[in-house]
Structure 1
């Protein structure tokens, strides 16, 4: 812009002829090319949160159970934790089926990353870990978490069965009655007499 302005001033003072507008435009273009690009500060981007994967979640549950075993908690507590671990492993083994249900994934992550460690640490902070009330409280907490894990697994199973039923319905619509079903009804294709003899044939008694 400064170069173009100077060219216009020179034209007004000395006269550059009828082509002075072209000279001004050329000067402006040359100035643009020679001017370094203005650097703009990078926009602050929110940090990308890496989601904990199923294998890592499984390891977290195992670590929490190991903490209880290493501190030699009463057997009912360790058994309840083992049952909870098994229930969560069933869900984690079918993690791919929860892609369409992110709310269930959030629940499982919260259970493993937040609730279980909080319950374990609260129990271990008690001086007398064989206290009946403390044992009952931690087992009750584990039972609640296991019930939630079982509910999520049941939802996975129902969804899988519904999808299987949908596929079966599509097959019926596309291909009609399947051979297996004909066999189940006794329609073996030999007239149903078991001997393969056509009783309507000439000479049949």
Structure 2
């Protein structure tokens, strides 16, 4: 459910913002202080983080899942995702960096590393199928490619950060759907 809530929040948030470009503007701009619809967007992002935490708890309890390292990384990613939207929204462009913006930057980095760690641990787990492993590697590749693409486009003066950010987010959100779907399909096996 988390990826669905997140996707809907981006679509709805983008509709609220006149002049917002999903190709150019960062996703965080939808929830920045004072943005039209930011209250709804941030509430949806907090819900997304809480749903990710629920997945982390299910993975922790699942004896046949990808393992507890994956669960811990997902719990960290969910908690930081919820904290970003709750306490650390992005500052509007052109204003001096606030403490909230500094917290935003730090927590976005923590969440990205936590998601990457979860995917890497899942890909290396001996407890997953070959298909799940392949899909996990593809999701991790999408995350890395999106991050690299954003940095390269920025350095070349191409304003496509929003597009590459969405590639990164599509990678880990697709993996969250696959992971939850796999657990539901085979039945969660609580410890």
Structure 1 length as normaliser, TM-score? 0.31
Structure 2 length as normaliser, TM-score? 0.33
Between the two structures, name the one with larger relative contact order (CA 8 Å, sep ≥ 6): 2
Greater fraction helix? 2
